[in-house]
Amino acid sequence: MDHKTAKDFEKKTGHVVQSGGLVKFLNTSPVKPKAAIVCVGIEQLYNTTVQLLNFGVKHILVEKPGGLLSSELEELRDSAISKNAKIFIAYNRQFYSSVMTAQDLIEQDGGVTSFNFELTEWCHVIEKLDKKPEVLS
């Protein structure tokens, strides 16, 4: 977030912005949070999560897909295990009102006996987004 954007945000929300990036913030030795949510651009998911693990955060919720490469996910897994931390990759569909309503109806009806469902990523829309090829892949 650039200086002007940060100041505009502060003015509109009344919340103070710590600008300069995560590394700069962590170098101020803030109180270690019990948990963190990583919701940055896909290209920064891996590095941001590594920084938080190295800082000692033990519970991290990371936006999907968690990284660009399967090797990044494997490294995050291994790092989390070695640091006795837990990383969860977010799949926000479980919080869709339609999914929550279906869960309630299923429970009221006594449980699942069979089901059929379809979810789509709308590939025809996604492929037209202005994203780097490695992000789209």
* Start-end of H helices in 2-110: 3-13, 22-26, 45-55, 70-82, 97-108
Whole-angstrom CA distances from 58 to 30, 44, 79, 92, 93 are: 15, 19, 11, 21, 24
CB 38 within 8 A of CB 51: no
The confidence score (pLDDT) of residue 106 equals 92
Closest CA to 89 of 60, 53, 69: 60
Collapsed DSSP state (helix, strand, coil) of residue 133: helix
Per-residue pLDDT tens over the stretch 66-117: 999 999 999 999 999 999 999 999 876 767 888 889 889 999 999 988 878 7
> Domains of the chain: which residue ranges?
31-136
The confidence score (pLDDT) of residue 72 equals 95
Per-residue pLDDT tens over the stretch 16-75: 888 888 999 999 889 999 999 999 989 999 999 999 999 999 999 999 899 999 999 999
The confidence score (pLDDT) of residue 2 equals 62
The confidence score (pLDDT) of residue 31 equals 93
Q: Which CATH architecture has domain 31-136?
A: 3-Layer(aba) Sandwich (3.40)
**How does residue 6 score in pLDDT terms, banded at 50, 70 and 90?**
confident
